[in-house]
A and B are shown apart, each in its own frame.
Chain A
Amino acid sequence: MTDKIDKGPADATPPAGPGASGTTPYEAIKAIPVRHYGRWISAVVVAVLLGWLVYAFSQGKIIWATVGDKLFDPSVLAGLGNTVIISITSMALGLVLGILFAVMRLSKNPVTSFVSWLYIWFFRGTPVYVQLLVWFSLPLIFEYINLGPIYKNETVDVMTPFMVALLGLGLNEGAYMAEIVRAGIQSVDEGQTEASHALGMTQTQTMRRVVLPQAMRVIIPPTGNEFINMLKTSSLVSAVQYTELLRASSNIGSTAGAVMEMFFVASIWYLALTSVFSVGQYYLERRYARGAQRTLPPTPFERLKANLNMFRRTEVSR
């Protein structure tokens, strides 16, 4: 029964059956498709509700022309740039710290593991707003930053609003990212580590070349989520004198007496940012799905085309 070896060399290519080469023409089924009346009704309800909402806002005491005028105001655009800069740098810091502390957390060394636990416990356990204020007030505790002969400076000079914002957001993010990365690392099959070790790769090589690339598939979706969150959370750093989008907008709003209008300006930009980065996230996910699926799922454009084709087919069958 198990004497597979006795048979001749197995033929790798299966015999070509009928229809293996070229397709036999067939007559497609002509049937009346299921009617989705519910979809039409819900579409109407949603349209009415949206229309009512737009009407309410258009009747409110909002000068919409101001929104348009100030949308591309230089100081708003500068704030927008700062929001992007602080979000990307904080996220980068958070990602680096996250990977570092995740690896430390999983380390066999109890000291490293504990340090990582402590970091995550503290920075995840206190509000980011409070952390920002503590970084802001750091000069009260450490008057000087003194690295012996290498570097010495007054803390006030080092802790610019940007540095405060970066450290506050980045260290907080690092704690969340550490947990995300840890989950990603633990999702990789143990057989992968064993295979890598069996080839003579060291712990570090295994982590870098085998485990982390595969963990990325699990890490990226929540990281994209974190980044979208970061774009919005960065509005908190206006509290530490960093002029990002919200602060820039509300500065104009309070001087020009257009508070509500400027909030709309800020919201429009936040929506634009999150939309752009959501698309980026989508393509990043596709890149790291390599090897995980036989064929990659269609891009939104491909799906849109497929949907349009579907509509056409329905019409034809009517």
Chain B
Amino acid sequence: MTAKTAQPMVKAEGVHKSYGAAHILRGIDLEVAPREVFCLVGPSGSGKSTFLRCINHLERINAGRLSVDGQLVGYKQKGDKLYELKDSEVAAQRRDIGMVFQRFNLFPHMTAIENVMEAPVMVKGESKAVARERAVKLLDRVGLGDKGGNYPTQLSGGQQQRVAIARALAMEPKLMLFDEPTSALDPELVGDVLDVMRDLAESGMTMIVVTHEMGFAREVGDNLVFMDGGVVVESGHPRDVLGNPQHDRTKAFLSKVL
């Protein structure tokens, strides 16, 4: 199912990232194919969220190559020299990459529908009418058609996260990044968010999901990477990695979370 013939959506080669003395990513190599649901699991501090944030250049990598849809992230290459991209060019790259955060990060001074309309209007210069029409559809799709007028504080965590997904989808991205999207939710609200994500996966969206929801990974994921200490320890189909882990670290981790 993960035909590597097509150009990979995300390609990482020897990606390193450190914050001062803290060496978080120690050489990550991986490929994410288009239309694939790619799960990143591992203990906290393993670098999986950091790697995710590198993909849309919220963090700058220190070494290696990282490209999305054939384009280097944050740099451009002319000859054999790399040039840093200007802020506006970085912003343009991010348009096509949606991101969903653990803490939702909805804009609290805007209603749900205004949150969804904001980027298409500001970034793409879409008219408000067009943006509103799409926002209504997207909110409907995530099951919140009647909550458009609510401010984020008037919504439950699960509802906020679904608005956040709709907000990211409003830019019609080719890649969606999920950074532990259900970790801040009450257990009973997790299902709604996962349902929306499963629906999105079925529609063919390329998704990279940092998660602790092993059930979701097993059922929806096409590929799974187990990270620890800033390196990829083990990867493969979720069923295989979760059902029959080869490495001791993977086994130890899974025995705690499963």
Residues in chain A within 8 A of chain B (CB atoms): 1-7, 9-10, 12, 189, 191-192, 194-203, 205, 209-210, 213-214, 290-294
Contact = CB atoms under 8 A, between A and B. Distances in A.
Interface string B157-190: 0000000100110010000000000100001111
Contacts of A12: 143, 192
B36 to A, nearest CB: 18
A194 B56 CA distance: 10
Contact of B97 (A198, A209, A210): A198
B16 interface: no
B82 to A, nearest CB: 20
| Size class of the B contact interface (CB-based, 8 Å) | 35 or more
A12 B193 CA distance: 11
A269 B151 CA distance: 41
Given A198-B94, A199-B119, A292 B191 contact: no
B5 interface: no
A159 B256 CA distance: 76
B191 A202 contact: no
Given A209-B122, A294-B154, A195 B107 contact: yes
Among all A-B residue pairs, the 6 with the closest Cβ atoms: A3-B215, A200-B95, A195-B105, A199-B119, A10-B191, A198-B99
Nearest to A192: B105
A4 B123 contact: no
A3 B110 CA distance: 34
A202 B88 contact: yes
A98 to B, nearest CB: 20
Contact of B191 (A4, A196, A197, A213): A4
Contacts of B119: 199-201
Interface in B211-242: 212-216, 219-220
Contacts of B92: 200
A6 B191 CA distance: 9
Q: Which of A5, A12, A201: most chain B Cβ within 10 A?
A: A5
B122 A2 contact: no
A5 B191 contact: yes
Contact of A10 (B58, B108, B111, B192): B192
Contacts of B191: 4-5, 7, 9-10
Contacts of A5: 191, 194, 198, 213, 215-216, 219-220
Given A191-B101, A192-B107, A201 B91 contact: yes
Nearest to B106: A195
B4 interface: no
Nearest to A3: B215
B168 A199 contact: yes
A177 B151 CA distance: 29
